[in-house]
Every structure is written in structure tokens, then in C-alpha cells.
Structure 1
Amino acid sequence: MSNYIKAPYNFVPVEENVFYPAWSQYLSHDAPFSDGKSGYIEVDIEAKQPIFIADGRLGQRAEGQKLSFFSHEGKYMVPGSSFKGMLRAVVEVMSYGKLGIFNQHQFAFRDLNNKPLYMNRIRQDNRPIQAGWLQKQEDGRYLLTPCGEPGRISFGDIDRAFGTNMVDYFVKGGKKNSLYDRNKDEHKAARFKYKTFSQIGAAETTYTFVPTKKGYTLAGYNDPRGMKGVLVFTGQPGLRQENRGRRSTGKGKEFIFFETGRAEIEVGPEVIESFKQAYFDYDENRQTVDWKYWSKELKKGERIPVFYNTDGVKEVAHLGLSYLYKLPYDYGVADLDPSKTVENFDRLDMAECIFGWVPNAAAGDKSGYQELKGRVQVGHLKAVGSPSLGDSVTAVLSSPKASYYPNYIAQHLDLANHLAGRYYNTYNNKDAHISGRKRYPLRTNKILENKGTDNVSTGFHPLKASSQFKGRIYFHNLREVELGAILSALTFHDSADQYWHQIGMGKPLGLGAIQVNAKLFLDGQEAADAALDAMGSFEACMLQHDANWLNSASIVELLSMAKANLYMDDDLGYMVMDQQGRQNHFKEAKNKNEGLNRYSILSGEEEGLLPLSRGEAPAEFGAEKDKLSQKIQEQQKQLKDRREQLYALLAIKKEQAAREKDRADRRREEAEAQEKERQKRAAEIAAKQAEIAAKQAALKKADEERKARKREQAAKKGLDPVKEKTQLGQVRTVVSQFIKASGEKTLAEEYWEELKENLAIAYSNSPKGKQREWKKKLAKELSNWLGDSATAENWAKEILG
């Protein structure tokens, strides 16, 4: 095999020549076919490798808790739904069925190494990438405010302008490198920067910037070159490496969205849908940290920063959250499904006839058929005896990345797995085809190790190889050829001893291989010959449709992957892309123009089915055709009437829900308005209180300043001389001069205690002959000095004793 391309999976190509049974329009549970058969198939399963089927509580387990095998009342079982899904998948392949149900989301890509595919497209005709603000309107439209080409500003200039420390965080060798972990999605996201450096108001506050030699920086006061704009952060995939004398690597700048004054642009709904799908808006488990935040803001009607470009026709042809954002492919899975290129795609294929059918709007079904109930029911298969648990397995069971076109799109490859042409087929090629139905080639008993961190790993205990199960498949009114299709799928056309099915979790790791033995029972009796006749009828029918059916590409690939090949184990591992970027097999494979070849070529297992050489293709209907047709038309009319009733009821419920939503929206808006009004009133009260407090503080300060002046005046022309006087007349002179100097009519209160103390000393030092005058005139003098006769009387009593 090649150096880098390998995978634990491969593909069965989808046949363009789909087989549509002629009797599909006459299917009924009430009007039996003349050759319709009813009965059951007894199924015995033996696990050839450890097997594990989860108990259905996949999303309910506690962190670190291992998954349990499906069981009921303490007995292990293979769920009927799991076995039915496995069986139907093989029937679809062997009967040339349509692709069926698949992921119809439009993929997006960012392939910086493929210039013709990505770089030439995102900058078509050398158009520079633009910046803008996207906002959802109340009427559901999306408007974009253009900001022109975004400006760039380095981490260092941001730090100098705003006092942040981005260099310490994101430039290798910085003091805070340890606080940034590129292995954590939340650290690589722009939200990490917004939270860490929130003090600068990024994406909210408008600043003025001026150009420099290498970008922009914050403008100085009244700089005539200034341009108003908002600083916008995007993610940080790794540390910046500054290299002196040679080119530095890694992201070292952020973006500026300028105010341009240009008119808003309406973004088309198809562009918005592609934008949302590129960020997995339909799958919360695959969404980035930034998308989870910005999408909520967008739904609330807030503006979010985006980058976009035009294709020369649409003003906004595509957009994203980063400068080099993901571009939507031109075509989806359904567009490149080869089975859709033929006429009558809206007819039912064999698997749909047998197992039932409902319209799949995502896959583009436009059939006039009503829903069809299946004529096959699969019960749980119960364990035989008491199977033992094997060794514990801990592995990463990740979702497929169908956007990786070297594998998921059919390529023209040589035997060395390299492109035979110059360019890859991608989802942008209208004439390209998807690789087919994904399946996992059987491995030997060696279980592939695929461990990851605790938060992405799944732990479980599979049952040991040799575990056995037994159950039944019940069928009703199947034509012989349909019964043959089921038996052929179960036994790989009577070759169950050579080929194995796979079921349950862990198929990429080498788990789940089972050998299936089936016995047909009609009227309660085993019918081995009838089983061979039915498979022969199916074989004849398919050979009539395609003479090369036994050795067709889909049959060969199905069988090649259903046969364990000891020599392929090492080539069925996972490609490596470690978080530090030291290994990236996905990138290297593209650089080497490698692709995933068909498994039959890789393994050398290019075998077809062996013919049974018995049975005939089903005959067309005779006289019963009209009767069946009339019966079916009556049933379809009843179903149509019922569907119209259901649609009417659904419309009523939808209208009720819309009214309830409107009421809820109004209540929410009223509550928000009340809360805003409450906050406004609280802010006004707080402002008023602050104003009052400020006035009080000012008055207090003025009073303290006045008192300070008085104290200073007292220090210069104080009342101290009073205590040295022995005669009241002398005291009167000192006090009167002091009052006059203060510019007041009476003595200020702050000097009262000082006067009182000095008067007491002066009186005590006065000769007894002079004290008569004190006793006679002190109260009167005090009243004149203080301007308060009551206080004067009290003081006189205290001083004179």
C-alpha cells in the first residue's frame, strides 16, 4: 500500500443501473401476491471476533463510565433493529439498490495546499477578502455591513496600545505560554482572547487606527491619518515563532474592521445555509467554541464579525468567521450519487419494497408513493448459554469525515494508489462520483489500538469470540425473489462458511465479525429446497437485469471486505494527524497525490459469487394485476386522506405553536423592557444619590476648610493671653480684639472651649480683691462674646464655682 493513505474502511461502489422491481406499485399487506410467501427464518449467529452492541444509553453514561452490552433481564441480546440494519445494507448492495438515506449536508473545505481548489477560489479573479458585520433582521433576512479590506495589527502593537500581554501568551518563549494550550479547543478559539483581554473592548469599542509599515496601530491625539474601526480577534491555531533573519511562522496579528459608510448588503438564503452548514449548525457536538457563541449572538439579532468575498455575480458569494474560512463545495452527496443519474429514481428499489419506505426529503425524493410498511420483522437474537466478557477496550470512535475527498470521492488511481491524472476529483466536480457505501473490511483477531484522551475515548467490554445468539426473522407476503434476496444477503448467496457479516460498535477496530446461518421455515416446516429455489430466483432476476451481476464491481467489493485477510491488518489502521503538527498523513497523502483504492485491488481478493444455477426470474402478473391495482389504489386513497387530515392537524398545531411563540416572545420582550426600565430607574437613583453625596462632601470640605482657617487665625491671634490676665477688663480687651479680627460679631463656636479653659485659669490666678468684678460682670461679658445668654450663665457658674 502507499506511504500515507490507509483507512480501516473502504467502499462498495453504487451501481448506476439500479434495479426497480416491476411489482413495487402493487405492494400490499392486505392483497396477497399469488406467489406470496409467509413464514420465518431461523438465524444462528457465531461471533468470529469479539462483539459489542451498546445498550442504547450511549449519551446517558457518566464521565468515565464504560458502556454496557445490550441486555434484557440480565440476558445478552443482539437487538433486532441492529441485525435488520445490517441485513438491509447487504440487500441494498446485492440488489443494486439506491444509496438510500445519507447525510445530505453540503460540505465545506479549507485546503491551503491545493491552490487551484481553494486559494484561487476564495480570491477569485484576485479579489481581496473583505470584512463586514452580519446581522439577522426581525423578518428573517440577513444584512451585511461592509468594512472593506480588514486592517492588520500585531500582537506587540496591541500590547503597547492597550496594555495587554498577547505576546506573552501567543509568541513562543513568552512568559505565559503555559496558560495557552493548543490541544484545547477552547484555547484555540477567538473566545479565549476575548475573555482573556476583555479590558480592551474588542469587537465592541471603536478606536482610531493609523497605518504603519507592517499594518496598523492605535492613533495618537488628533492624527490626521486616523481611521475609525473595531478590533476583531480570530482563533489561534498555535504559537507564533519569531525567527530572526528568516520568515517568522504562525499567526501574529489580529484584524481591524473599519467604518466605511457603505450601504448594507442582503445575503442570500443559500449563502447563509452554506455558512451554517460549514460550521455544523445542525450538529452541536461538532460545532466550534466560536460558532456556539457567535450563532447565539446572531439569533438574538446582534451583529457578528465575518469575512466574505464575491464571485463576480453575487455581492456575497460565501463567508466565514476567519480570514481563510471554509468554502462550500458546489455539490453535495446526492448530486454525486451515480444511482441518481438514471430515470425513475423516485421508484422503489428491492430493499425499499421488502423493508418499507418513507419519503426522504433530504435525499430529494419526489415520489408519489405513500409511506410503505415493511413486510419483514426482526426480533431480538438471544444469547445461547452465558457468553463471557472479553478484555476491556478503550478507543476513539469518531464520526467519519466525508469531506476528505481522496477517500470519499472516487479517484482515477494506478495500482500504486496514485492519481492517474493531474488533479483530484472533489465535490466541486459535477461529473465526479462518491466512492460508494462505506463498509469495514474484516480483520483477523488482532484488535486495532486507537486510544485518545479521556474526554474523547469510549470504554466498553465486548463479548468474547465464539459467543452465540439465536433468533427469528418473520416475513409476510414476500414474493419468492424477495425472499431469495434476504436469504442471499444473510448467507452471501449460500456461502456463509466463507464470508462474514459485521455488526455493532468497534468495526473499525476489528470487532463485530459474525457468521450467520439461516434456515427457512414455511408452514412451520424447514424448507431447505425452497430456500435454494428462492435464492436461485433472485439470482436469475439479477442476471436478467445485469448479465455480469455475479462478478459486478459492487458484489466483488462486498465479498472482498467480508473475508478476513491476514496480510491486510497493518493497512487497516488510521491515518495520523497529531496536535503538534509533527505528523499529518492527510496532508502528506494529498502532497503525494495518493487516493484510497478499491479494497479488492489492495487485498487481491477479487472474487465474485458462485452461481446456484436453479430458479427462474419472477413472472409478470396475470389476471390478479387489475385486482391488485384496484386494491392498492383504494389503500393509497385512504392513506392520502389520512395524510391530508394529519397535515391539517399539523397546520393547526403549528399555528397554535406560532401563536404561543408570539406570546412568549411578547412576554419576554415585556420582561426585557421592564428590566431595562428598572435598570434605568436604578441608574437614575444611583446618579442622584451620587450627586447628593458629592454635594454633602463638598459642604463638609468647605466647613472643614473654614474651621481650618479659624484655627490658623487663632494660632496667629489666639486666646492664650486670656489665661495670663488677672483682671476682667484686661480679658475683655483681648477677647474683643480677637472677635473683631475674625470679622464676626460674636466668637465662633470652635473657640468657645479654648476661651472657657483660659477664663477658668485667669479667674483662679486673679487676686481676691479683683474677683468681685469677675463675679459681678462675667456672665454679662460672656453673653456679649458668645451671643448666647443661657450658655453664658452656665459658664459663669462653672468658672466662678
Structure 2
Amino acid sequence: MPDMPENLIADLTTYARNRRAGPRTDDLKEDVLDHAYEVLGFDGDGDLLWTAVKARIEAERLPRRDEPELVPVAAPGKANSAPPWNPGTDAVLATAPFRFVPMNETVSRLPPDSLTPHDKPLPGHMSCILDVDWRVETPLLIGELDGDVVMPFRLGDDYAIPGATLRGAIRAVVEALAFGRLFQTNRHKRFALRDFEHPCYKAFVTQGQGKPGLQAGWLTLVDGEPHITPCKWGYVKIDSLPGNTDRWVTKDRHAKYRHVGSDWKGPGAFTKLRMFEFRGTEKDRNLYSEGRAGTPGHYVFSGKLPGGGGKKKLFEYVFFETSARPVPLADGVWETFVTTNSKPSQNKRVADGAWKEFEPSYKQGGRVPVFFVGDLARNAADETFSFGLTRLYRIPHRNSIGEILLRSGQDHRPAEKTSQKRGGKTEETLELRPDFVENLFGYVYEPKDLEFGHDKLTRAPDYTPPASVARKGRVAFEFARPASGARFRLWPENGPVETAMGAPKPAFAPFYLVGPEKDYSRDGARLAGRKRYIARYRAGQDTPSAPLKEALAGQISDGMSKDMKTRLRFLAPDPAGPPIFRGRIRCHNVSRAELGALLWALTFGGDRQARHLIGRGRPFGAGQIAAQAITLRIRPNLAPHDAAETVEWTEAHGRDRLAPWLEAFEHLMEETARGWKSSAQVQALLRAARPRGWAGQGTTYLPYQPAGGRQAEHFARLRKVCGPGAIRAPDRLLPP
């Protein structure tokens, strides 16, 4: 018998444990397989799957409905004990090509009204130009799509590194060094949850099985606001649908509605009525099929199941027409639904999954079928209320990223409450408090951003002047171009390398959170910190290209879809010339400490080992660069033009020649946080920047889909031993 994925068996066993199936084993089998195909997307042999699940059920002595329940469903917020952490086997699963600089509780905020002006030269400040020679050590790709291949960026006829790329890389280092505010995150994002062993999802499933249980309704726009109109619903056997339904699970949602001639998009969605007759009850399911008489309603179909559809899905749904009045949704309820069903974004949300299909109809005034649990009439006050687009929809975690961020310190809020007199009354307002980094590099906030982390004001501001939420920086990065005599070539020489470049997965709490229970629904969890990829190439010990190509190609596995693959062509140094890009940085009206912060970030405080990573392929060692030389020209404010000072620095100098400015920054930071230089933040930043090769333990991704699907099992294991009810799991999985 072929191996079945362990996480699938575990999910189905848990599902069976919490279902109220009929007393016969055949009923439980049908219910479990229905769930496997319909919800979990299984598309293999049902009999083999049931054999594996049944063996697990018997091993755990799972009770049937007529036997006492052995394993209770956990209440919201309470967790059954997880398997204990095993240092011998679990620690080796905690492997990734990135680390986190721990969060700083203290933020280097400026005193009120102390922003450095652009138009007033300050005594003791200066303007300067830095010409930086960037040495490229591993193949580099800041790319643009050319056909189906991502090719290196060009500026005219020359290859170039955009100034925005370098600015972003250096600002990220300064933010970590200078204890900046962590705000440019998807703080509104509330990750979704559909884990049948999670205590919150167990509570949701139990709620859906009780009275009134899982309910249905139509989501619509009424006077520009979201509403749900409740309606009754039932099941429709797919075998009872008109026409040939043999390949039903392979059809997408549009093909299914076309099959029965129903409109499901646009302002006229779900307006063509059909009659449905009651066909009896099976295992607590009220069954209906289309007929000449009965109750008016509409077919509601799920989307295409993943995989090839080895067994037919058994049921779809009918939503009945209703005369009920629409019920408005509270702002928080709607916000949670939208963020759960959208791609991460700070401002404009981008619909994802089924919501991507339904959102246009919703905005055009059409109806969208939804399921919900809880008290719709009291949805603003009912903490258990939620709704979604499928029967067993994903529910939101209790905490958003922003709510967890604030556990690292209230200084990460961009604004403070202040009071002012108006008309004889004291009213509250919000005042932005920029930090050291924002004062130097600039910032852009939306007026609503100022409210982050605060309760509602006694009076909302009528107008927020743009100048109070946005400011230009005093540091400008120009394009870096090949230095005189520099030579670069396309790599690999024989054509693009095919790889899989997945997006970061901050939803994976064991890596992205720290605390006794690393879970977005637990009160003790905190953000792991600022993400940094590990530098790889060690001059004199490693070859810069071969291990990178092997690492990139190693992301491809048998059965991976074409959509997951990407083809890349990098820029590699040519031995015929120096591997140097030269770029200019301009600074205006900066203090000695500010210039020191910039130099510290460029050179990592004179650390000769530390390196930067830019562009694509950073998890695998691509884009490793170093500041090889800096020509620094300084003109103090209020000084004669001929008073300019020039400093020539190379890597060989270390801290020498830059020490006055580095020390000014270090002194400032010691005043902000005593022991700054030896702090966990600075040391973690330097450790990640010091190359450690490609074969270091714990520095690579888990192999993608190895035999038996064990990658998914490993991730499931880490979630289990580090999540709710964790026993002896380390506070931080990835060492800083």
C-alpha cells in the first residue's frame, strides 16, 4: 500500500474524533472520505485512505457515537497538551536560510518638534557625497521579465543596480542598528486557520454542529455597507444534478454554474429561481434536488478541488430564497473577513482565493453566498461570530500582526495622544513621533496609520495636513553602474536556471513568532524580529557559482506545477575585469551621528567579514555584495566652500579613517540603550551578515516534497510541538 501523508491521516483522525457520525462504521467512513475530498482536496484512492485512518482510529481507540467520548473538544483559548519537544528529532527540523534580529522594545524616537529641517543648515551638521565601490561576490539579479525569463536590469546599454535597491538594503540595516520602529508590516493581516486539532478551530466546528449550528446567507452591499441576509440551506447530491457529473470535481466554479445554466457573477447573480424538493435526511443532512415543485432557491457550488479528482465529491448546496431583512456587519467583522481572504497588503487589499472570484459581483451589487456561525443580529458583540465562503471555511486567528507587534513595546506606535483645548473643551488628538531612522531616510504615513495602537479619540481630526504624515529623506541613492574596466557576464552561461521562488510565509508561526506557544491565537506570542537572509560565500573557501546553481535547481521536484517555476538569468563577475559597481550617495544637513549610522550600515561597523544581500535568490546565496571602497567628501554647514574634507577608505582600513563618525553614532545609541554594541540586536545582525557557506546545519529550507510528502509532515510536527499546549519547546526556534 502506498504511503499516505501523515498530516492528512492526523487531520482526518481528529475530524472523526469530533464528528457526530452515525453508529455504524460505514457512516463514519463516508463522512470522513467526504471531508477528505471536499475540504482537504484529497484526490487519491478512498479505500486505501480509509484503511490508514481506520488503523489510526483503532490504535487510539476512537469511540463511536454510541460510546463515551474519550477526547473532549477544547474550549476556545484552551489547548490540549501538545506532544513534548524532542531535542534529538525536532531541532533538526528547525532549518531555514534566514534568521531574525530580535525586536527592540525601545525605539529611538525623537523629542517633540526636533525634526531636522531641509531648508535651514544646522551648526555642527554637514552635507556630503559618498562614492561607494560595491564588489559583487556571487551572481546577482535585480531583474525584469523578458519573455519567460527574468533578466538583469539595464539602464540604457549598461547593467545597473537601482538606487532604490541599495537604499532599501541600507535602510533595513540602519533600522535594526538604530532601534527603529517596525511599522512597515502587514499589521492588519490576521492569518487564517483551518487546523482540526487547533483549539480555536475545534470550538468553531463544535459551534457549527450545535444549535443553530452552521447557517447560510447572502452577502450584499446595502447603501455602500456590507450586509448578510440570512437564509435556509441544504445539501444537493452531485449525482442528482442534471447531465453527466462524472468529472465534477475537476470543474472550476464557472464551469459548474454553466453546467446548470445559473448566473453567479455580476449584479444579476443568483436571481434566477429554481424549485427544490426535499428528498429526506441522511446523517443530519437535509437533502434536496431540483424538481417541478417545492421551495424556490439557488444552486451554490464550491470551486475546483486540487489534484486530479480520484473520487467524486458527494455534495453541493442549495440556498433558499428568503424574505428576511439584511443585517449590517460591524466594521471589525468585515475587516477580519477581508484581511483573511486577501493577499497581504498594507493599504489596498488584493482579493485572493474564492473572494477574488466573488468580489467583483459584490461590488456591482450582486449576491454572494456565505456560511456563518454565531449570532448574526449581534455580530458586533458576538466574539464567536464569523463567516466565510465555504462550509468549513478558514477562520481568523485571534491576533493580527499589529496586535502582536505592540507586545514588543508601545514605542512601535507611530503617534502619541495629546490633548488640546478647543471651544473650552479638552479634546484628544494624535501627534506623529518620528524616530532617528525616519528623520534621516524620510517617511510616508496614511492619516489612519496614526490611530494604530490607540483607542478611539474623543474627537476625530477633521483634516490631517500631508506635511504632518509624510517627509522627504535627507539621503539619496543614485544608480550604481559598472566601474571603469569592470566586466560582467550572464550566468549560467548555458541558459537560464529553473527554480521555484516561493513568497515568504509569515503565517508559519514556529519560525516567525517566539514564546512558549508560538501561535497567532495565543496571548504570549511575540514577533521573532526583523528577517535577515544568511550570507553564504566565503572567499578562499567556496566557489561562488556552483553551490548557488545547485541550491536553485534543488528547489524543483517531480510533480511541481509549471506555475510554481521561474526561469532566472543572473549577472556574474567576469574574470577579465574587476567585479565592481560604483554608486553615489548624497547626504544633506546630516549630523555626525547620522553620517556614522550610514557608514556603520555600509561597512557593518568596519567588520571585514560581514556582507549585504540584494536582489533575487538571496535565500540561496545570490546577490552577495560588499562595500570595497568609499570616497567620502564632507562640507560642514556654514563653512567656506574650500573647507571640504575628503576621506579615502578601503576594506583594509576596517574602522580606521571612519572612526570619528562611527563613534558618534555608537555614543548616541549607548545613550538610547545601554550596552547597545553587545546587544542581541547588533550581534544577531552581524552573525547573519557573516558568510557561513552553503552546507551549514540549519541554514537551508526543508527539501520540497521529498518521497512520502514528509516536508508537510515536518511542518505539521513543528506547528504541533510549538503551538497551543507546547511542552518544553524552545522560546525561539531559529537561533538569532
So what's the TM-score if we normalise by structure 1?
0.63
Residues in 1 aligned to 2:308 and 2:677: alpha-carbon distance in whole angstroms: 58
1:386 is matched with which residue? 487
1:129 is matched with which residue? 214
The size of the alignment, in residue pairs, is 556
Q: 2:209 matched to 1:140? A: no
2:718 is matched with which residue? 589
Are the aligned partners of 1:231 and 1:257 in contact in 2 as well (CA < 8 Å)?
yes
State the 1:469 CA deviation. Answer: 1.0
Are the aligned partners of 2:371 and 2:390 in contact in 1 as well (CA < 8 Å)?
yes
Equivalent of residue 277 in structure 2, options 208, 230, 233: 208
Are the aligned partners of 1:135 and 1:303 in contact in 2 as well (CA < 8 Å)?
yes
Residues in 1 aligned to 2:412 and 2:263: alpha-carbon distance in whole angstroms: 61
Change (3 A) 1:238 1:473: closer
Aligned pairs for 1:190-269 (under 5 A) are 190-198=253-261, 204=272, 205-214=274-283, 215-218=285-288, 228-238=296-306, 251-259=313-321, 261-269=323-331
Residues in 1 aligned to 2:689 and 2:721: alpha-carbon distance in whole angstroms: 30
Residues in 2 aligned to 1:341 and 1:220: alpha-carbon distance in whole angstroms: 58
Q: 2:528 matched to 1:424? A: no
State the 1:124 CA deviation. Answer: 4.4
State the 1:429 CA deviation. Answer: 3.7
Of 402-411 and 127-136, more deviation after overlay is shown by 402-411
Residue type matched to 2:615 in 1?
G
Residues in 1 aligned to 2:410 and 2:334: alpha-carbon distance in whole angstroms: 28
Equivalent of residue 398 in structure 1, options 493, 497, 502: 502
State the 1:200 CA deviation. Answer: 11
2:653 is matched with which residue? none
State the 1:331 CA deviation. Answer: 3.1
State the 1:499 CA deviation. Answer: 0.5
1:358 is matched with which residue? 444
SS in 2 for 1:34: coil
State the 1:351 CA deviation. Answer: 1.2
Are the aligned partners of 2:191 and 2:400 in contact in 1 as well (CA < 8 Å)?
no
Are the aligned partners of 1:144 and 1:265 in contact in 2 as well (CA < 8 Å)?
yes
1:439 is matched with which residue? 532
1:165 is matched with which residue? 244
1:298 is matched with which residue? 362
Are the aligned partners of 2:108 and 2:178 in contact in 1 as well (CA < 8 Å)?
yes
1:549 is matched with which residue? 676
State the 1:541 CA deviation. Answer: 1.4
1:494 is matched with which residue? 606
SS in 2 for 1:277: helix
Q: Which has the higher strand share?
A: 2
Are the aligned partners of 1:379 and 1:473 in contact in 2 as well (CA < 8 Å)?
yes
State the 1:122 CA deviation. Answer: 5.8
Residues in 1 aligned to 2:446 and 2:582: alpha-carbon distance in whole angstroms: 33
State the 1:533 CA deviation. Answer: 0.6
Residues in 2 aligned to 1:250 and 1:542: alpha-carbon distance in whole angstroms: 64
State the 1:118 CA deviation. Answer: 1.9
Are the aligned partners of 1:395 and 1:459 in contact in 2 as well (CA < 8 Å)?
yes
Residues in 2 aligned to 1:200 and 1:25: alpha-carbon distance in whole angstroms: 60
State the 1:583 CA deviation. Answer: 5.2
| CA deviation vs aligned residue, 1:317-349 (integer Å, no higher than 9, x gap) | 321110111223333222222455138843221
Of 375-384 and 324-333, more deviation after overlay is shown by 324-333
Are the aligned partners of 1:35 and 1:479 in contact in 2 as well (CA < 8 Å)?
yes
State the 1:504 CA deviation. Answer: 1.2
Equivalent of residue 593 in structure 2, options 446, 460, 481: 481
State percent identity of aligned pairs: 26
Residue type matched to 2:150 in 1?
L
SS in 1 for 2:526: coil
Are the aligned partners of 1:279 and 1:288 in contact in 2 as well (CA < 8 Å)?
yes
Q: 2:107 matched to 1:107? A: no
Residue type matched to 1:254 in 2?
E
1:662 is matched with which residue? none
State the 1:562 CA deviation. Answer: 0.7
| CA deviation vs aligned residue, 1:92-112 (integer Å, no higher than 9, x gap) | 000000013222332231322
Residue type matched to 1:512 in 2?
G
Change (3 A) 1:311 1:51: farther
2:646 is matched with which residue? 525
Residues in 2 aligned to 1:12 and 1:540: alpha-carbon distance in whole angstroms: 21
Equivalent of residue 276 in structure 1, options 338, 358, 372: 338
Residues in 1 aligned to 2:289 and 2:119: alpha-carbon distance in whole angstroms: 82
Residue type matched to 1:535 in 2?
L
State the 1:482 CA deviation. Answer: 0.7
State the 1:602 CA deviation. Answer: 5.3
So what's the TM-score if we normalise by structure 2?
0.68
State the 1:409 CA deviation. Answer: 2.1
Residue type matched to 2:620 in 1?
L
Q: Which has the higher helix share?
A: 1
Residue type matched to 1:314 in 2?
N
SS in 2 for 1:166: coil
2:137 is matched with which residue? 48
Residue type matched to 1:586 in 2?
F
Of 453-462 and 72-81, more deviation after overlay is shown by 453-462
Change (3 A) 1:38 1:276: same
Are the aligned partners of 1:442 and 1:562 in contact in 2 as well (CA < 8 Å)?
yes
Q: 2:701 matched to 1:573? A: yes
2:460 is matched with which residue? none
Residues in 1 aligned to 2:601 and 2:171: alpha-carbon distance in whole angstroms: 8
Residue type matched to 1:321 in 2?
L
Q: 2:443 matched to 1:314? A: no
| CA deviation vs aligned residue, 1:204-257 (integer Å, no higher than 9, x gap) | 43322232334344469899xx65543321134357999xxxxxx984221222
Are the aligned partners of 1:42 and 1:473 in contact in 2 as well (CA < 8 Å)?
yes
State the 1:24 CA deviation. Answer: 6.7
Are the aligned partners of 1:107 and 1:403 in contact in 2 as well (CA < 8 Å)?
no
Change (3 A) 1:113 1:343: closer
Change (3 A) 1:485 1:287: same
1:628 is matched with which residue? none
State the 1:570 CA deviation. Answer: 6.5
Residues in 1 aligned to 2:733 and 2:678: alpha-carbon distance in whole angstroms: 14
2:6 is matched with which residue? none
